[in-house]
Chains A and B, each alone.
Chain A
Amino acid sequence: MGSPVPAGEGTPVGRASSTSPGLKAPTRRGTELVMLAFAATLVTGALILVEANQEQELTMQIVYLGLAYLTLFALAHLAVRRWAPYADPAMLPCVALLNGLGLVMIHRLDLAVDDDKATRQVMWTAIALVLFVVALRFLPDHRTLAKYGYTFGLVGLVALVLPGVLPGFIAPPINGAKIWLNFGVFSIQPGEFAKILLMVFFAAFLVSKRDLFTVAGRQILGLDVPRARDLGPLLAAWAVSVSIMVLQRDLGSSLLFFGIVLVLLYVSTERAAWVVLGLVMFAGGAVVAWRLFTHVQTRVSNWIDPFATAQEDGYQIVQSLFGLGTGGIFGAGLGAGRPEIVPEASTDFITAAIGEELGFVGLAALLLIYLIFAMRGLRSALAVRDTFGKLLGGGLAFAVAFQVFIVVGGVTKLIPMTGITAPFLSYGGSSLLANYILVALLLRISAAARTPKTAPKPKVQQPAIADQHTVMVERPK
């Protein structure tokens, strides 16, 4: 990273070195604020476009939504300034932009179908940001989480499986998936939270038992195959994800969960064999599931040829493709398309709605925002010093990217549609709450990576890898 520094110029230690006395590392909070303001401008512009194209007057609704948005993120920014001053400056603006675009899109769909999901989503955003602030405030060090790894694991597992085993009156199947807990006035998807809880558990577990898994097994075809008894965690994860698929009929979460565990295993052990093994298990499980369950068969046939059942099972994906195609390169314009034709446009298919109205250009921009967010998260994981932080940060970053891949791949027919929300964009409280906790954790890890050490230890101290320049070292003569 960075360009080579000519020998003799400066010290071998990088410019932003936390060890240089008298040089205070920049917090970059100002950058964050500027980027947040930029995101706010984009979102407000998008909102005005929607109103214009939908021939709405400038109602109080706009003012309310716009102001709420600005206030919420200004408060979030202040919280970061206060409790995680060295956190990565790009992640919160990315999230704010995604969340804001999601709000605009949900509002736009509200206008089309005469609903008021946007107000509720603003409310959920507010609650999510409160949770975000609380997490930053009461978790000054992410390593604390590792201590409660098993507790989190247990709670996460229960939360994950709960809707699948509870009776229908409290866990009603919605659109075939039994993933909701209904509490009358509101309902939550415990799986969204379980995802993070289990990630914390796996990261803590793998870090503490890391040495066990790196013990070499036999070499087969150039791969270090782990010993059979070390397969336990992978098998457990596999069993859990299969149970999600079978009990809750939630293919997306199942895939997401398994992918995350696989990545955590791979990163912690640095052995590709886990990935290969996991993929084989996944393939086997997928084939068996496809043979056994009609809901899996439907998804697959909808993927192979949705037009064969364009008015029945394939309707949703066909309409999604029509929307994307009609939008074309530059899109129909915000508020000028007909994304409401696609069922579930405000949740699972919100990226199709954005692709229709903002076109390929807009969808590509959206994907790049996600990529920036995930890469910043990954960068923090690379830079942080403790292995737990690395593993958790990498897992969280990957979780977002993978979830985006599953949902966008689904609506664009790259992979079978599995019914999963787009992080920060989709309508839905649980997804929003869980993902803001995820952001808080990533910000916490990034802050740990960038915070300068108060007691410098010369020579031994390594600068943060992310801040380190490649240095040309002269060959000894």
Chain B
Amino acid sequence: MNTPLRRVGLAMMVMVLLLLANATYVQVIKADDYRKNPLNSRVLLDEYSRERGQLIAADGTPIAGVTKTDDKLEYLRTYTNGPMYAPITGYYSTRYGPAGLERAENDLLNGSDDRLFTRRLASLITGRDPKGGNLQLSVDPRAQQAAWDGLQGLTGSAVALDPSTGAILAMVNSPAYDPSPLASHDVAEQKAAYDQYNTDPGDPMLNRAISSTQPPGSTFKLVVAAAALAEGKNKDTTYTGAPEITLPGTNTGLTNYNSTTCGNGTTATMEQALEKSCNTYFAELAGDLGAEKLRAQAAKFGIDDTDTQIPLTVVGSTLGEMADDAAVYQSGLGQRDVALTPMHNAVVAATIANGGVRMKPRLISKVLDPDLGVIDEIDPEEVTEAMEPEHAAELRDMMIKSENNTGGEGRLSGVQIASKTGTAEHGAEPQKVNPHAWYVAFAPADKPTIAVAVLVEDGGNRGLGATGGKVAAPIGRAIIGAFLGGG
């Protein structure tokens, strides 16, 4: 009987070996698949039950935090002034996942980032619950609030940067959505909010500041002027001052705003042309420079970049194809296929303000551990020298003239702003569609600490008569005023 008994023993060993082999398959080979399967709630539950880090504004006020709950997910994500900060924070949803900074910095906020390794080790030993790290943001609540107030009832967005560091001081969209219901632990509430935002014709979840490009209109003349200055031209270089020219190779006319003349009627200087935003001058100048030089200058301003991470991804701005001279002419005034995000347009203004040195825009200034100790300070990152310092100064002086020539409300006393407005036509029948109103500016002009770009889409509340000066400039000035404390 012993021989069959030994075989039974062998069979038992084979059974255990089979189990071990299969367990290896499940727990080692397939483990990652199972762990990452969207139906696997374990990892999510773990993450959602950990105390998530805060997002903290420049003045120390938390704009995203947690409150303790007594349900299965131990912490509820809460947002202060949710809609106002939504373009920055994004949302943190159990059903729809994280978005915005919540997504871009998820590892740090949920505590799994490598930079928190020693902290995790420490809490393992001390037996404390692992917590997420915190993020100190550069966003300035005064500037943010001013931009938010200014855009109420309008469609558009505003971005403010610190020209010398690239720190984002404000980033606001309108219309906006509230991230709070998306972070609810009640899945039905999440779904209701999400569906509502997504069916809203205003598209509140579109991050207009960084995810939507629009024709920049006359604000783009700054880029053309920068290209001209780099080519040895100066503020006194003359081109046509005529109220209307014909696009080369076509019978199509190109007119100045309200068909005004510039300079002496036949020629105008660059300074005069920028001050009055003469289309014919810049069309001719752009044509003279050519597509390549425009493109090169635009690239120096970062307009072609498609991988800008703030750390949210900024979609690439573009000059379009510029296939013929007519297209180059039109591109010279920021029309045709030129399209910029408000973020890139703010970067253009900030670069001029910073003496031609382009800084990388960024939202995070410090990475903090769960106890608010500094783990990492984010140094300002210089991308490139987009302009010679003296050219930047020359362009700044022209922008001061432009600002002083721009109407609109909200002028600040005691602060010199340098700016450029834009009124961009768009759509298939530009004459019938309310134009986009732009305002890019920085201040104080002699030692800039803030650069802004404001875009009010579809003329805001001014309809067909909207201009950058009337609609967008007051908002931009309000942001600058709030930030500088001038008012």
**1/0 per residue B18-40: CB within 8 Å of A?**
11101110111011111101011
Number of interface residues of A (CB under 8 A): 53
Interfacial chain A residues near B15, Cβ < 8 Å: 401-402, 404-405
Interface-forming stretch among B2-10, B169-177, B282-290, B390-398? Answer: B2-10
Give the contact-size bracket for chain B.
35 or more
- In the assembled complex, which residues on chain B have CB atoms less than 8 Å from the CB atom of A341? 41-42
**A398 CB, min distance to chain B CBs, angstroms:** 5
B42–A390 CB distance below 8 A: no
Q: Is B35 within 8 A of A328, CB to CB?
A: yes
Tell me the residues in window 394-426 of chain A with beta carbons closer than 8 Å to chain B beta carbons. 394, 397-398, 401-402, 404-405, 408-409, 412-414
Please indicate the chain A residues that have their CB under 8 angstroms from the CB of B22 in the complex: 409, 412-414
Residue numbers in A under 8 Å from B7 (CB-CB): 266
For the complex, give the distance between the alpha carbons of A398 and B4 in Å. Answer: 12
Question: In the complex, are the beta carbons of B16 and A370 less than 8 A apart?
Answer: yes
Contacts of A263 in B (CB 8 A): 8
Contact B39 A318 (CB under 8 A): yes
Interface flags for A321-335 (1: CB within 8 Å of B; 0: not) read 111111111000000
Residues of B within 8 A of A374 (CB): 12
Tell me whether A325 and B1 are in contact (CB under 8 A). no
Tell me the minimal C-beta distance from B25 to chain A in angstroms. Answer: 8
Bound complex: CA A364 to CA B26 (Å):
12
Does B45 make an interface contact (CB < 8 A)?
yes
Q: A367-B16, A375-B9, A412-B22 are in contact. Are A326 and B1 (CB under 8 A)?
A: no
Binary contact track B377-404/A, C-beta < 8 Å → 1, others 0: 0000000000000000000000000000
Query: Does B201 touch A at the CB level, under 8 Å?
Result: no
Do most interface residues of chain A lie in helix, strand or loop, or is the interface mixed? helix
B253 CB within 8 Å of chain A: no
**Nearest chain B CB to A291's CB is how many angstroms away?**
27
Q: Is A267 an interface residue (CB 8 A)?
A: yes
Whether B13 is near chain A, meaning CB under 8 Å from some CB there, is: yes
Most chain B CB inside 10 Å of its own CB: which residue of A307, A338, A368, A409: A338
- Write out the residue numbers on chain A whose beta carbons fall within 8 Å of the beta carbon of B35: 322, 325-326, 328
* Interface assignment of B427: CB less than 8 Å from any CB of chain A: no
Residues of B with C-beta under 8 A to A465: 2
CA distance A323 to B18 in the complex (A): 20
Q: Would you list 17 pairs from A and B whose C-beta atoms are within 8 A, ordered by A residue?
A: A324-B34, A325-B30, A326-B35, A326-B42, A328-B28, A338-B41, A341-B41, A341-B42, A355-B23, A360-B27, A364-B20, A371-B16, A397-B12, A398-B12, A401-B16, A408-B19, A412-B22
> Which residues of B approach A to under 8 Å, CB–CB?
1-9, 11-13, 15-16, 18-20, 22-24, 26-28, 30-35, 37, 39-43, 45-46, 127, 129
List A residues at the B interface (Cβ < 8 Å).
52, 55, 263, 266-268, 270, 307, 310-311, 318, 321-329, 337-338, 341, 355, 359-360, 363-364, 367-368, 370-371, 374-375, 378, 381-382, 387, 390-391, 394, 397-398, 401-402, 404-405, 408-409, 412-414, 465
